Amino acid sequence: MTMSTTSLRIPADHPALEGHFPGEPLVPATVLLDAVREAIAAHHPSLRLETLSHAKFLSPLRPEQDAKIEVDVRGRAVRFRCLRDADIIAVGEIVLAAED
Give the pLDDT band (50/70/90) at residue 76. very high
Section 22-33 average pLDDT: 94
Q: Which residues contact 83 (CB under 8 A, 6 or more apart)?
A: 67, 68, 69, 70, 89
What residue numbers bound the domain in which 48 lies?
2-96
Q: Is the pLDDT of residue 100 over 70?
A: no
**What digits encode the pLDDT tens for the residues 50-66?**
999 999 999 999 999 99
Check which CATH number belongs to the domain holding 20 and give it.
Answer: 3.10.129.10
Total domains in the fold of the chain: 1
**What digits encode the pLDDT tens for the residues 2-27?**
899 999 999 999 999 988 888 899 99
